[in-house]
């Protein structure tokens, strides 16, 4: 497949954290990695489980794209620094960062524990702080700027009984906007994608009844499910030259679910 030059991604280098998925499933990170590869970018696919990252790389390579797999734990500063250096060492520059790593939680502030609070905030927020902390100087040094996309959640905008998760995803939005303001003069753009009820391996691997899936489908104005491809397409757009004048924004990819009344997670 010939890369589409209109994206302005040919020869650029992207890191996609959380870029693996179970089997051949299409999660948000895997979809973004494949679409970036199709657009001509070199993609470092990062996952703690190297086998999952390698499968994504194989899918990119099967289409003629350029990618490499790496195992790093982005909850650790040293791993984030090594991840960035890995991409620069392989391809000489760093242009794009797509942050997908995250975990869920369920309960109110009364129900939840301090341990869960610390864990969710560490995985959902601190990882993005650390990856951006190390990626931004490399982008400025090697490419004269770059673009970052952080994955938030509709739960940040419409809480529904997932309190700590909602707070963490709200923090992702605030972090993204702060980065956009702080580093815009350095040529860095930072934006958020805010997914709704996407049908991805992370969701269905935990088990889902037909009734629950139908409830999720009906939660959007469009009355259909989103998939990892929908998130990947939004990420590719925001990382591309098509979005050269867009920064500090939150792009909802939710089928219009935020236009409807919330339903609690227990419903």
205 token code pair:
């691997």
Q: What is the DSSP letter of 16?
A: E
How large is the average pLDDT for residues 185-198? 95
In three-state secondary structure terms, 124 is: helix
- Give the pLDDT score at 197: 86
The model's pLDDT over 19-44, given as tens digits with 9 standing for 90+, comes to 999 889 999 999 999 999 999 999 99
List strands edge to edge, sheet with 66-70.
Answer: 66-70, 42-46, 13-17, 96-99, 146-151, 188-195, 250-253
DSSP 8-state symbol, 162? B
pLDDT tens digits for range 103-127 = 999 999 999 999 999 999 999 999 9
pLDDT at 4: 80
* CATH architecture, domain 5-254: 3-Layer(aba) Sandwich (3.40)
pTM over 0.85: yes
- The catalytically annotated residue of 165, 199, 204, 245 is 165
Structure-block tokens of residue 20: 């693996």
Q: Reply yes or no on whether 165 is catalytic.
A: yes
Residue ranges covered by each domain of the chain: 5-254
pLDDT, residue 266, reads: 44
Beta strands in 152-233 (DSSP E): 188-195
How many Cα atoms occupy the beta-carbon half-sphere of 13 within 13 Å?
21
């Amino acid at each position: 497949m010939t890369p589409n030059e209109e994206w302005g991604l040919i020869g650029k280098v992207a890191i996609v954290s959380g870029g693996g998925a179970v089997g051949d499933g299409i999660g948000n990170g895997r979809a973004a990695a494949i679409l970036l590869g199709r657009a001509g970018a070199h993609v470092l696919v990062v996952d703690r489980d190297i086998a999952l990252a390698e499968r994504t790389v194989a899918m990119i390579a099967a289409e003629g794209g350029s990618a490499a797999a790496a195992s790093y734990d982005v909850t650790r500063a040293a791993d984030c620094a090594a991840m960035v250096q890995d991409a620069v060492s392989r391809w000489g520059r760093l242009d794009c960062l797509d942050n997908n790593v995250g975990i869920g939680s369920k309960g109110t502030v009364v129900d939840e524990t301090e341990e869960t609070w610390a864990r969710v905030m560490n995985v959902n927020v601190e990882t993005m702080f650390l990856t951006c902390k190390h990626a931004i100087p490399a982008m400025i040094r090697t490419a004269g700027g770059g673009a970052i996309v952080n994955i938030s959640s509709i739960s940040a905008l419409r809480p529904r009984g997932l309190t700590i998760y909602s707070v963490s995803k709200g923090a992702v939005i605030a972090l993204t906007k702060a980065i956009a303001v702080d580093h815009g003069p350095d040529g860095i753009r930072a934006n958020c994608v805010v997914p709704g009820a996407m049908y991805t391996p992370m969701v269905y691997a935990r088990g889902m009844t037909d009734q629950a899936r139908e409830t999720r489908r009906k939660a959007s104005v469009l009355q259909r499910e989103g998939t990892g491809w929908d998130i990947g397409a939004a990420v590719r757009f925001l990382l591309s030259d098509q979005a050269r004048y867009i920064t500090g924004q939150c792009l909802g990819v939710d089928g219009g679910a935020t236009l409807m009344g919330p339903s609690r997670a227990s419903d």
